[in-house]
Amino acid sequence: MSRTAAFATSCLLSIPLAATAAQPDDIAELQALDIRYQAAVKANDAATMASILHDDFALISGRGQVADKAALLKEAREAQTVYERQDASERSVRVWGDTGVVTAKLWLKGRSNGQAFDYRLWYSDTYARTAHGWRYVLGQASLRLPDTP
């Protein structure tokens, strides 16, 4: 093993993965932040979205499309999508040190550029603790889930 690989391995092994004393507070904070973010998307509230999104944010759709913070804020300001529903369920929050992941099933219903939509998908939102608090750094969405009878 090279010295670089050995150093990288030792660094990874030294990261504490066990729960810390702050973890319950972090879990509650991230759950509330993700709820706040989903509500901001539903309301096309670009200011709230901007306060939660990290400047280096990326969203990857189930079809592999990538959007950055600027694209999401532009879409919200232009109200290209009007939501009737933007509802998350089955939410779980996990925290490892300064990284948190929120996973949930999302029901989206509304109109986008005049076209109606109504579907569900799974998402995973990754948050990082920064000097300014938790920021949403990466979103990954599944393909649309099959309609259920």
> How many other CB atoms are found less than 10 A from the CB of residue 61?
15
pLDDT given for residue 8 in this prediction: 40
pTM of the model: 0.82
In CATH, which of 3.10.450.50, 2.30.140.10, 3.20.20.20, 3.50.50.60 is domain 20-141? 3.10.450.50
| Mean pLDDT confidence for 82-94 | 95
Give me the chain's average pLDDT, please: 88
Compute, in degrees rounded to 10, the torsion defined by CA atoms 84, 116, 81, 66: 120
Burial class (CB in 10 A: 0-12, 13-18, 19+), 11: exposed
How does residue 148 score in pLDDT terms, banded at 50, 70 and 90? Answer: confident
User: Would the pLDDT of 2 be above 90?
Assistant: no
